[in-house]
Chain A
Amino acid sequence: MPNTTFIILILLLPLVSFVLLGLFGRKYIKAGSGIIATILLLATFLVSIYTACHYFFEYGKINGVYEKLVPVKYTWLAFSNGLAIDMGVLLDPISSMMLVVVSLVSLMVHIYSLVYMKGEERFSTYYAFLGLFTFSMLGLVVSVNIFQIYFFWELVGVSSFLLIGYYYDRPSAVAACKKAFIVTRFADAGFLIGILILSYYSGTLDFAALIEKLTAPGSTELGNALSASFLGLSALTWGMLLVFMGAAGKSAMFPLHIWLPDAMEGPTPVSALIHAATMVVAGVFLVARLFPVFALSAPEVLNVVAYIGAFSALFAAIIACAQTDIKRVLAYSTMSQIGYMMFALGVSKYGGEGGLGYTASMFHLFTHAMFKALLFLCAGAIIHFVHSNEMKDMGGLRKFLPVTHFTFLIACLAISGVPFFSGFFSKEEILTAALNHNIAIYWAGLATAGLTSFYMFRLYFNIFWGKEFRQHGETRREGGFAMKAPMILLAIGAALAGYIPFGKFISSDGKALAIPFELKHAIAPVALSFVGALIAAWLYLRQNNKPQKIAASLSALHQSAYRKFYIDEGYLFITQKIIFNIVGKTADWFDKNMVNGLVNLTASSTQAFSFATKKMQSGKVQQYAIYFLGGAILLAVLFVYVWK
């Protein structure tokens, strides 16, 4: 392997952007902040591409297998018990791919925001936070150590918090950023305990060593982890389940998904970057990173991954059909697509043909990043034009936003799995993998495919067709070149990314995987997609009252889907009523009255005692004489009669 320490630049450049703009942006750099951050990010992107290309085509493959390489590593904190937190860069197929995805989407968002966020009061702060996020996300994907991933995991969480709460004077944004942080924090508590369990049994925090020790058949570490049990589950199962809990929180899997739709309060380019293309797939990435342990040592947990993923995919797709805020539709769509990636991993095996799900999941992650980021950028352009998120304020926009219309259509075709667009290939692979391993999950995936196509085209027709849009007052125009260019570039990606032979580069065991294309497996999902799109066209192409009628006839279902199946209300009940009102208030009362009461009681009883006894010291000689006499008589009695 050649000298590759320059790879560290990938992390340093966005960090420089954050520090520079964070310290000097607001007062000194001001409007130049955007350009500076974009240039730094462009450099990051180029280094990432260079690194990934070299990894895939030059030094990554050793004897026909893509190896895990560690060009940079140093010990950040060594504990006394032999465990150590290392910081470094791990290059393997998935991290190389993620480097490209993250830096590409981040670059697109940086460019797009030059126009979109222009004139904002906290323009430089915005770019500083983007830099922090990009730094943390890149650090996360190249982690060499499970604690390193946790480190950056928390950092992406906080950058997401800061960006969701970017419009800090809006109460809804403040509530959303709090919710996002706390829900993921709760999941991360599980992740942390999972890390503690895994490191305790494997005796290491290093990814490579940890995976090796927990997968080698007959190793003592694995034996101990499997034989120790708690509440009927082995320690390893607990560890992997809790790690998956962290992953599910970050990736908005049911039932920890509630923060994602609210996170749409952030600026739309941020939603494209964080809540569509990169951060929310961190959970999928984590499962992929530990995939050998899941597949070889904890298959029961992998099953949980599959079912949670499949349920989330379907559940979110149903909700998406009833939402009216375009960003929320896209948010539920993101959750649904991530569910796809999760269950693809869940049905996969390790190595060989059985590992198709793994490849498919990473493939879908890649294509999804393209089309979903594009959809959000389009949504941004639309919101920029209409000044509303609600579908009812839109309609007929194709005449006003030709570029947005065209790119949105491409993304729509890609996500719906229309043949020859990227989503078609990745989705087809996922469904094939599911069909081979678990038929129930296959049906869930198939149903989701139809629903996806329906809600996406519902969005498309409602925005660009249907009723005519009327300009009020000033004439607005489509955003400038800086907004269109990223959309066009991503549209090219969304159209063509499917032709990358993913199996060659990414597979569960590093060996090239030939993926046969079977036409018969493609028929059902494609047919369902067309049906979904046609129903959407029938309902929404022209303005009519059919949608209302259907909604009315399905009122119970529609209402529950619109209210997101009352999950939020359930959480609110638990947090407000139980944790806050019962636990919190009891603790507070206990502290004020019992603990503190005891202290005050001690004080007042001491005081009472001293009041009672201070009369003894009256200063009256006669009184003292009586005490003296009394004492003398008492002693005399004692000496004479008792202690003879």
Chain B
Amino acid sequence: MNLLLLILTPLLTAIAVLLPRNKQHVKWVSFFGSIVQSALAFVLFFAFRRARTEDPSSPMLFEQKHKLFEALNINLHLGVDGISVAMILLTSFVVTAGVLVSWNVEKMTKEFHFLLMLLALGAYGLFISLDLFVLFFFLEISVIPKYLLIGIWGSGKKEYAANKLALMLMSGSALILVGILGLYFSNNRDFDLLSLSRASIPGSVQDIIFPLVFTGFGVFTALFPFHTWVPDGHSSAPTAGSMFLAGISMKLGGYGCLRIAIFLLPQAAKHYADIIIILSAIGVLYGAFVTMMQRDLKYINAYSSVSHVGFSLLALGMLTQTAMVGAVMQMVSHGLMTALFFAVIGMIYDRTHTRMVNEMGGLMKAMPFITTAFFIVGLCSLGLPGLSGFVAEMTILVGSWENSGLVHRAATVAAVLSIVVTAVYILRAIAHTAMGPVKHERHLQLKDAAWNEKLAAVILIAGILSIGLAPGWLSDLLKPATEVIMNKLK
């Protein structure tokens, strides 16, 4: 399969949404584009599975390389492994659902969908790039739209949030850029991921570059203590913006940590493993406790994202294959789950015009569909078996327990305890909003989900269930890919 299609489709969709005059048409074009992207993602998934059985050894499949800028040795080098395929599937789910829940955006509809597609383009591009420069380019493409999405369509302290988010992510990017340039100059001006992975980079160089790259991507994925853009950014962003931000953008960071920092700099990864584990364990538990104190649904999900993403960073720090598989599972699971969570919050907010849990109650009566989706996503978040969160968390815990060091064990126990705190804040949120007596009479007149909202929720729930009920396909996808990385760590 030609991977260029994955860049071209969102690009063409982005251009195509600018053409129609009618707002309704814009939405349909955007929806159609997202469907094509999903179809491509599925084709890629099945083609990849077939190709993988035929060729179990090469690290990347469907590779292609085009010269972009010869003087600087920059190439459009594309290729995918199981991790990328999983992330691409996730992206396509979130994009489709995000377009669907944005059906009611009437303000500058064209520009809104254009930016969504640009964001999607950045994500797809990043997941298939094997050239660090091109990868960085796609990473930056995904930052600017967020700034505009929050700044224009946001609510609340949107200017502050947009600035904060853009500045923090930009400083993350700056660190990444320095790291990438360091790699480039220390390896005969080479940006190529695969050839860099084969080069032997001296330990002293690794030790300098690793913190830059890991922290840089860490900012994107809300590594404690660089997570403060998350709550403000999410709470001000429009629904689809939050979904993209948490569902896709934060995953770019996790992907980068794994693909660039750990894969290319394995020796340094071992050096810094304890620090990563400690920071992410703090993030997991601290995020959970802070979530417990929040009253605004968006803040609840934002902080809980810090906690959940901390799980996958923790797993990366464990440097065992099982944990690594779990880390990617958690990224996919969290992406689906958090997108659904924000979608549900958006639906509730559109109707009740509040996001404060103590101003709601008994919503189940008027909105059975939305509250059921809320229940499902909440249960997924607290790791109920049969939903994706359980699979990812258990894989991480089993993988983490392989290390018998005290730091590893303590961090794993902290992670287990965070599951209890998660249950507390999720049940509080659900009990206050969906259950209990009805707070306002007018809440009884509210309408349940419309077709587009139902479809968006069903798509994401289907994703969550497909991992939760039969996780085999995902772990089969991830095992060979993580093995390549593990071989470097030996």
Contact = CB atoms under 8 A, between A and B. Distances in A.
A182 B384 contact: no
Interface string A115-151: 0000000000000000000000000000000010011
B420 A182 contact: yes
Contacts of B365: 169
A174 B431 contact: yes
Interface in B261-292: 286, 289-290, 292
Given A80-B321, A81-B320, A588-B293, A168 B471 contact: no
B38 interface: no
B228 A596 contact: yes
A168 B434 contact: yes
Interface stretch (A5-13, A185-193, A620-628): A185-193
Contact of A591 (B228, B420, B427): B228
Interface string B459-474: 0000000000011100
Interface residues of B, number: 60
Contact of B394 (A81, A147, A595): A147
B398 to A, nearest CB: 5
B10 interface: no
B228 A599 contact: yes
Contacts of B229: 599
Interface residues of A, number: 50
Interface string B284-321: 00100110111000000000000000000000000011
Contact of B399 (A81, A147, A193): A81
A77 interface: yes
Interface in A557-612: 580, 583-585, 587-588, 590-591, 595-596, 598-599, 603
A78 B475 contact: yes
B25 to A, nearest CB: 33
A178 interface: yes
Interface stretch (B54-62, B145-153, B411-419): B411-419
A324 interface: no
Contacts of B325: 79-80
A128 to B, nearest CB: 11
Given A151-B385, A182-B424, A169 B398 contact: no
B289 A200 contact: no
A199 interface: yes
B391 interface: yes
Contacts of A85: 394
Contact of A158 (B379, B417, B470): B379
A181 B423 contact: yes
A584 B286 CA distance: 9
Contacts of A192: 397, 416, 419
B362 A168 contact: yes
A587 B289 contact: yes
A152 B228 CA distance: 37
B322 interface: yes
Given A178-B428, A189-B420, A599-B168, A81 B436 contact: no
Interface string B383-426: 11110001100110111011010000000110011011001100
B479 A196 contact: no
A17 to B, nearest CB: 16
Contacts of A154: 383-385, 390
A241 to B, nearest CB: 14
A552 interface: no
Nearest to A175: B431
A26 B368 CA distance: 10
B66 to A, nearest CB: 35
B356 interface: no
B328 to A, nearest CB: 12
Nearest to A186: B420
A79 B423 contact: no
A200 B417 CA distance: 19
B427 A584 contact: no
A193 B416 contact: yes
B225 interface: yes
A525 B97 CA distance: 66
A121 B220 CA distance: 47
Given A168-B436, A181-B423, A599-B168, A80 B322 contact: yes
Contact of B435 (A174, A583, A590): A174
Nearest to B293: A588
B202 interface: no
A75 B325 CA distance: 17
Given A154-B390, A189-B416, A79 B398 contact: yes
A262 to B, nearest CB: 14
Nearest to B320: A81
Nearest to A603: B167
Contacts of A83: 322, 398
A144 to B, nearest CB: 15
Contacts of A591: 228, 286, 290
A174 B293 contact: no
A516 interface: no
B437 interface: yes
B292 A584 contact: yes
Contacts of A169: 362, 365, 435-438
Given A192-B397, A587-B293, A76 B472 contact: yes
A178 B427 contact: yes
A286 to B, nearest CB: 16
B289 A584 contact: yes
A588 B397 CA distance: 27
A225 to B, nearest CB: 13
Given A168-B434, A182-B427, A599-B164, A77 B475 contact: yes
Contacts of B290: 584, 587-588, 591
B123 interface: no
Contact of B391 (A77, A171, A174): A77
Contacts of A165: 431, 435
A178 B402 CA distance: 33
A77 B401 contact: no
B248 interface: no
Contacts of B320: 80-81
A228 to B, nearest CB: 9
Contacts of A596: 228
Given A81-B322, A81-B402, A580 B292 contact: yes
B88 interface: no
A587 B399 contact: no
A76 B472 CA distance: 7
Given A189-B416, A193-B413, A591-B290, A200 B423 contact: no
A599 B413 CA distance: 30
B401 to A, nearest CB: 4
A585 B289 CA distance: 8
Given A174-B435, A192-B416, A182 B322 contact: no
A155 interface: yes
Interface string A197-238: 101100000000000000000000000000000000000000
Contact of A185 (B292, B419, B428, B472): B419
B218 to A, nearest CB: 14
Interface string A493-527: 00000000000000000000000000000000000
Closest A-B pairs by Cβ, 3 of them: A80-B321, A588-B293, A168-B435
22 contacts: A75-B472, A77-B471, A77-B475, A78-B472, A79-B325, A79-B475, A80-B325, A81-B398, A81-B402, A154-B390, A155-B386, A168-B434, A168-B436, A169-B362, A169-B435, A169-B437, A181-B423, A199-B398, A200-B402, A583-B289, A584-B290, A595-B228
Interface of A: 26, 75-81, 83, 85, 147, 150-152, 154-155, 158, 165, 168-171, 174-175, 177-178, 181-182, 185-186, 189, 192-193, 196-197, 199-200, 580, 583-585, 587-588, 590-591, 595-596, 598-599, 603
Given A170-B437, A171-B437, 18 more contacts: A78-B475, A79-B399, A79-B475, A80-B320, A80-B482, A81-B321, A81-B398, A83-B322, A152-B385, A169-B437, A178-B427, A185-B423, A192-B419, A193-B416, A197-B401, A585-B293, A588-B293, A595-B227
